[in-house]
Structure 1
Amino acid sequence: MTSPSQAPAPGLVAAFRALHHDRAPEDPLVLPGPWDAGSARVFVEAGFTALATPSAGVAASLGYEDGATPPDEMFAAVARIVRVVSTGDRPVPVSADIEGGYGLAPAELVERLLDTGAVGCNLEDSADGALKDPHRHAEWLAEVRAAAGERLFVNARVDTFIRGVADPAEAIVRARLYVAAGADCVYPIGAPPEAIPALRAGIDGPVNVGAAPGGAAKLAELGRLGATRVTFGPGLQRQAMAAVREGAARLRS
């Protein structure tokens, strides 16, 4: 476990939470996903004001399949990312994708996450390829919120779209339960662009939309559709690895 001295300052958590509110529709919060300390430094040097780690990208960087990273290694990777962007006068907040919480009790999960220095987390509502009962998951999220207080920004992932439920109404039902349980933001992962306006209309609070890496025009359009923030999952890590493969191929040729 990392040292508790790395816990984020309350002001940094509040600043990260504030980034999700009072945004112009064409200006969603864009959070690149660093997979290691080096990529985190690159994103900060490019001018991004906050970051959100992708569990799949971190897993790939550590040599694991998505979902197979041991929790100790995931927390250690997040701590390394936080460390390199927390130096100087303007530390950059980092939210961490910690999948389904690794079976840890809410209080232990919160403390381990705070020990990394992260200001927030993603928590997903499916396991082993199946959706969890939304009411029980909401109760669990409420326990996480109670343990964290205002010390963490909780992004509740809604997995209906990636589990074969195309109707936005089901995602909205789950999202409302999670917001009522204390989630700061909801993330209907895999939602197609045409579903975003309905999600925006039916959900009270920030909405995270996933996207493939793209330019400013694409990001602005997602904002106009209703996205509060945009993340990329492992897309940036995979893009970087594609460049590595091309370089390796040139060396072999």
Structure 2
Amino acid sequence: MARAICSSCGLRSQHCQCRLEVSTAGNTNGDDVERASKLSRASFCRIYLVTAITVSGFCISVFFWVQALTYARPSCHLEVLVDSFSISNVSNATADWNVSFVTRSPGNNCKVSLHTIKARLIRGGNLISESFTPDYFGKLVKGQMNEPLSYAVFKMVATTTQVNGLVWDLRVNVVSRFYVSGLSYPDQGFLNVNCDGIPVNFTVDSTGSVKGSLLGRMRPCEYLVRSNYTDTTF
């Protein structure tokens, strides 16, 4: 029997089954699958790389944004000074010595209030007197903080007329609660204040009462800021 010529492939094949073309077509489809697989892996790598770069850039942007907010936060430049000195409640041999403080915040609009908790009065390395506000912490816990006490009162300090005309250099150590307002971020904490070299001039008036006053201008103080009051010894 004569074999027909397949018009599709030009080969002599029974029943016109062009096995060569079928085989070739099969190889072609295999190449396409392999090429598609390679393209898929390359696309995945590109997508992964772009995603990693995007996430990293976002994290870096958030980090610098937080840092900028932290450093851009308004703050107070606080100055603490001894404003005045006075003597009151004079008795035969004792009197109350009063040291007044003032706070300043040059260059900004923040307002600072002080509430003295503890104070020490020292002369020549010797402790003359100390004061303490025992009910302050109870008021703080109850949320009934009274008016700011920006002064220290040393009660019943030995005082005689022999100090007439003398100038003493005193030192005052103070633990004070502070509260800052007038900012977007109000703040509060404790100050350990050291006021050294406070010149006090003593005089005696015609009635025999001892007077004391700060000699010269206000005296600046040094301080340390604490978020919590932990010093139980002072």
* TM-score tier after normalising by the smaller chain length: under 0.3
The structure with higher relative contact order (CA 8 Å, sep 6+) is 1
Q: TM-score, normalised by structure 2?
A: 0.23
Query: As a proportion of its length, which structure holds more strand?
Result: 2
Q: TM-score, normalised by structure 1?
A: 0.22
Query: As a proportion of its length, which structure holds more helix?
Result: 1
